[in-house]
Amino acid sequence: MEINHNFKRFFQKIALKMIRIGNHNNDYKRSDYEKESLSICKNLIHKDSSKLLISPISKKRYIKNDDKKIFIIIETRLLTIVNHNYSYNIELHPKSYDILSLIFDNEVEKRRQIMENEITSNVKHSLTNIYNNIVNENI
């Protein structure tokens, strides 16, 4: 039993090394379009005036900035930047998508935490008062 397990592990290690040798993702150079579009996204993500939205089913991320009149859709392999005058579709490398998603998700989490702190700090009613208000409203 132990020999069989070690035999399988040995071939798994060899297979992983072969895959890593053939993987040229580390040699990837971003295009100028991809670099510029990632910079646009990063800037808009961190602006307070930008609205950020995540779709849990499609895994798409949306950035809307009314001040700059820009709307961005971030998908797994595609970044779409839309304005009233133009629309660009930029292909994203998986590594670029992962980095952009992480930045986006961290900003959404930061905003969620701020909102949650605001909600919990503004609690002015006890549960009894809320219950009484609901009961009195039904009468």
Q: Which three-class secondary structure state does DSSP give residue 28? A: coil
Kindly report, residue by residue over 99-109, the tens digit of the pLDDT.
999 999 999 99
What pLDDT score does 30 carry? Answer: 81
> Contacts by 134-137 with C-beta closer than 8 Å and gap 24+?
none
Do residues 84 and 70 make contact, with C-beta atoms less than 8 angstroms apart?
A: no
CA 63 to chain centre: 10
pTM for the model stands at 0.69
pLDDT band (50, 70, 90) for residue 57: very high
The residue type at 36: E
The domain spans of the chain are 31-123
Give CA–CA dist 63/73, Å, rounded: 7
